[in-house]
Every structure is written in C-alpha cells, then in structure tokens.
C-alpha cells in the first residue's frame, strides 16, 4: 500500500500534523499537571513553611526573653498541642542535643527550608513522617531546628511525580500511536486519489477513485473528483467524436472538390467546364459554411462573444425571423402560426439570438413536411422567457434528442435532407452562452424545441 519513500514520509502533511498533534497534546498535559501540582503540593508546602517561620520567630523571642528553660517549656508545650506533628531539635553549642523529637539532623547548620526524613519507631512500628524544617542559631550559639510534618503533602508530591511520569508516558504513546494511525489512514485515502490521478494522466480515462461508502469527507471528495473525471471523459469522448466527424464531413466535400477539379482539367467542352466549375464552387462554399459554423460554435462556446450583450426585444426579433423565413415556408405550402406575447425582452446578443431562432425555423420548415403547420410561441414564465418552435414533421425520436446537439450528428432518417448537422449544435452553443436552456420535445406529432432565457 505504502509507496512513499523516507523523504516523502517526512514531507507528508499527515505526518507533520501528527507530530504537531502529539506536541500540543503533551504540552497541554504537562501544563495541566503543572497547575495541579502547584495547587496540591507547592502552595500547601509554602503555607506550612510560612507557619514554621512564624513559630521559629516566636520561639526565638521566648528564648531571648525567658531564657533556655522557657524555650524548652514552650517546645514541650508545642509538641503536645499541634494537630500536625510539630518537630524540633535544640542542640547545645557543643553539639549535644538538649531536647529533640527529630530522629536525626545534619551536623552542618541548615540553610533555608529543608525536608528531613523523620520516621519514628514507636511500639515496633515505623511511622512515616516528613519534616519541613528551618534552623536558627540562638544567641549563645545553640542550634534550634523547628519543623512540621508535611508527610501528606510529600505523599502527594511523590504520587504526582510518579503518576504524572506514567500518565505522560502513556498519553505520549497513545498520541503518537493515534497520530501515526490517523496519518496512515488519511495517507491511504490520499494515496488512493494520487494513484487514480496518475493512472488517469497515463491515459486510462475510465479510472475512478474507490469509495468506502461511509459518506465521510474523503468519500465526498472522491465522489466529486469522480464526477469531474466523468465529465472530462465525456468531453474527451465528444471531442474525439467531433474530430472524427469533422474529418469525415470535411473529407467528403474535399474529395468531391478534388474530383471536380480533376475532371475540370480534362474537360473538353465549355459547357462541361462550366458545370464542373460551378460544382467545385458549390463544394468550396459548402466547406466554407461548415468551417464557419464550426469556428463560430467554438468561439461561442469559449465565451468570447459576450461583447454584444444588450437588451433584445424578442417580440420584434421573432417577428423579423418569421418574416425572414416566410417565403421558404410558403414555397412549401406551410403555414406559420405565431403566438408571441408583446414586450418580451431578454439580455443577449441580437445577432446570435437571431441566428438561433433562424436555425430552428429553418429546421422546422425543412423537416415540417409539405403543407404543414409551424407554430412559434413565446411567453414570459416567471423570471424566464420561453420560446418554442414546433413543426408537424416526423419529429426527433427520444433517443436522439441529446445527440442532435452534437456537432455533425444527424438523425439517421434525415440523411437525404441537405444539412451539415451543425445547426442545432450552434443553437445549443448560443443558448449556453446566454445561460439559457434548450429542450427538445415532442409536439405529437412533430418536433418541439423550447428555448428559455432569463427575462431582462
């Protein structure tokens, strides 16, 4: 599964995120423990120390005022009264203890706060004590050590030290393990996308990113990318089809043109030359019109035609278009019925819209049959202007309704009717440029084409 090298592993975002996650997790755990330690251990210890310092001050004062005996009495009284066990040691200047309930003390004078082990054996049992002591030298050089039991705080200290070490170790393991697992899981999904993309790039357009079916973010991303791949595959396929068609559609008139010119060079009579010249010109014109239409479609589809956008009076435009095509319809004995609401205005390029409507009318007349009826209707529907053109010809079978919008596609049955198969593709491109919609339906009988544009 893993195709990443060591260098890439370190560069990988998921790994970096994992490391950051572990660092943040450990920092926050340490801060939490620090705060708890401060509250549970450090501050109570400070409080005890202050109390001991006050007692030391009092005892030293007693010693100065009442002499050594008063001090000894005070020490004995103190030992009897304290809720927490009070410790003391009075050591004569020659080093001999005068009075002490501490089991031991260092020979050197203590400087500042000190914790002393003060375990006491009583009745064969060891009682654990920890004394927080401070030392003062009395006026005659005797040492007075006074302290209090902080065993409970010390226990807490120990618990915290060992407990937090273990907890941080376990948390670190969990965080590292979790982030590695997370990084691997995310990495795997990303690898899947990367692998698919590479295969698509290598030319396998049908590849899709596998979905887990969990509907998670990655599934959603994969589904979106798959849709994108689908669209790309479709458009590549359509480009391929179009270029095949272009090749075919242009080759045929080119071949005919070639044949005409070939025969022309061998023509013997003026009449024959005239006929061949005319044929050749007609082929050249046909080639030119195919070429122009293709270029126009490409240009419109690439959205380079937006400059001419302005309000277009569709009522007027449709009347002009119908009038333009009227002679053609009449020549075929067709009637054109128009049901157009007055004052329909859309935002668009009038020349292109006219081209689109003209192409549709031309189709309706061409395929509408002798003596048929062509109906042009245009109305406002909410925020849209809908324009429909219907004929009573054979119509377009449902299976071809999408495909007739492709360049060069012609419904098989219409092969005998002259045409390039570009008319509807051009209409479709024009409608697309105007953010409109084009629907091909059934006029039962006949074809019904509906265009919808946003009303201006």
Q: Is there binding between residue 347 and another protein (CB under 8 A)?
A: no
| Closest CB to another protein among residues 301, 320 | 320
* Range 365-404, binding another protein (CB under 8 A): 366
Q: Using the rule CB under 8 A, which residue among 79, 233, 263, 320 binds another protein?
A: 320
Least distance (Å) between residue 11 CB and another protein = 50
Count of Cβ atoms closer than 10 Å to residue 337 Cβ: 11
**Residue keyed to tokens 């419109």:** 300
Identify which range of 118-126, 138-146, 246-254, 319-327 contacts another protein by CB under 8 A: 319-327
Q: Is there binding between residue 328 and another protein (CB under 8 A)?
A: yes
* Range 1-40, binding another protein (CB under 8 A): none
Least distance (Å) between residue 351 CB and another protein = 5
Q: Say what angle helices 151-201 and 217-266 make with each other, to 10 degrees.
A: 10
Q: Is there binding between residue 292 and another protein (CB under 8 A)?
A: yes
Looking at the chain, how many residues does it have?
Answer: 456
Least distance (Å) between residue 307 CB and another protein = 5
Number of residues that bind another protein (CB under 8 A): 31
Q: Is there binding between residue 354 and another protein (CB under 8 A)?
A: yes
Q: Say what angle helices 217-266 and 270-301 make with each other, to 10 degrees.
A: 170
d(C-alpha 414, C-alpha 398), whole Å: 15
The DSSP letter of residue 455 is B
* Range 257-276, binding another protein (CB under 8 A): none
Q: Using the rule CB under 8 A, which residue among 299, 310, 335, 379 binds another protein?
A: 299
Least distance (Å) between residue 420 CB and another protein = 9
Alpha-helical segments (H) within 302-422: 314-331, 350-367
User: What mask, x for binding another protein by CB under 8 A, covers residues 415 to 444?
Assistant: ----x---x---------------------
d(C-alpha 15, C-alpha 8), whole Å: 10
Angle at 355 between CA 426 and CA 293, to 5 degrees: 40
Q: Is 313 helix (H, G, I), strand (E, B) or coil?
A: strand
d(C-alpha 383, C-alpha 151), whole Å: 84
Residue 229 structure tokens = 């791949």
Note the Cα 21 to chain centre separation in Å.
Answer: 21
The contact set with another protein (CB under 8 A) reads 278, 281, 284, 288-289, 292-293, 295-296, 299, 305, 307-308, 320, 323-325, 327-328, 331, 350-352, 354-355, 358-359, 362, 366, 419, 423
């Amino acid at each position: 599964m893993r195709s990443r090298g060591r260098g890439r592993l370190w560069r990988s975002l998921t790994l970096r995120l994992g490391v950051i996650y572990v660092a943040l997790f450990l920092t926050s755990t340490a801060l939490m423990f620090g705060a708890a330690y401060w509250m549970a251990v450090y501050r109570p210890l400070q409080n005890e120390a202050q109390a001991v310092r006050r007692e030391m001050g009092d005892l030293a004062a007693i010693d100065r005022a009442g002499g050594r005996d008063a001090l000894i009495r005070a020490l004995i009284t103190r030992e009897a009264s304290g809720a927490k066990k009070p410790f003391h040691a009075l050591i004569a200047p020659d080093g001999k203890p005068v009075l002490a309930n501490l089991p031991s003390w260092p020979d050197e004078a203590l400087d500042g706060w000190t914790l002393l082990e003060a375990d006491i054996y009583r009745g064969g049992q060891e009682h654990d004590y920890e004394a927080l002591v401070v030392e003062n030298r009395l006026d005659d050089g005797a040492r007075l050590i006074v302290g209090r039991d902080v065993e409970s705080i010390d226990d807490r200290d120990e618990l915290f030290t060992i407990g937090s070490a273990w907890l941080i170790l376990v948390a670190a393991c969990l965080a590292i393990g979790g982030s590695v697992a997370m990084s691997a899981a995310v990495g795997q999904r990303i690898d899947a996308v990367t692998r698919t993309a590479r295969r698509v790039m290598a030319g396998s357009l049908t590849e899709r990113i596998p979905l887990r079916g969990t509907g998670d973010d990655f599934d959603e991303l994969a589904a979106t990318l798959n849709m994108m791949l689908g669209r790309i595959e479709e458009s590549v396929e359509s480009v391929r089809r179009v270029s095949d068609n272009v090749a075919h559609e242009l080759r045929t008139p080119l071949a005919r043109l070639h044949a005409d010119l070939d025969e022309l060079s061998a023509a013997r009579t003026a009449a024959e030359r005239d006929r061949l010249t005319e044929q050749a010109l007609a082929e050249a014109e046909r080639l030119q019109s195919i070429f122009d239409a293709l270029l126009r479609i490409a240009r419109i589809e690439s959205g380079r035609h937006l400059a001419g956008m302005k309000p277009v009076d569709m009522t007027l435009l449709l009347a002009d278009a119908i009038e333009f095509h009227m002679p053609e319809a009449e020549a075929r004995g067709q009637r054109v019925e128009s049901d157009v609401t007055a004052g329909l205005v859309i935002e668009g390029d009038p020349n292109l819209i006219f081209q689109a409507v003209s192409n549709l009318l031309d189709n309706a007349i061409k395929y509408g049959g002798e003596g048929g009826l062509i109906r042009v209707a245009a109305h406002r529907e909410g925020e849209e202007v809908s324009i429909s053109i219907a004929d009573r010809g054979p119509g377009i079978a449902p299976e071809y309704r999408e495909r007739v919008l492709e360049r060069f596609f012609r419904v098989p049955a219409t092969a005998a009717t002259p045409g390039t198969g570009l008319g509807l593709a051009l209409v479709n491109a024009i409608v697309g440029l105007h953010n409109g919609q084009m629907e091909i339906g059934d006029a039962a009988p006949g074809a019904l084409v509906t265009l919808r544009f946003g009303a201006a």
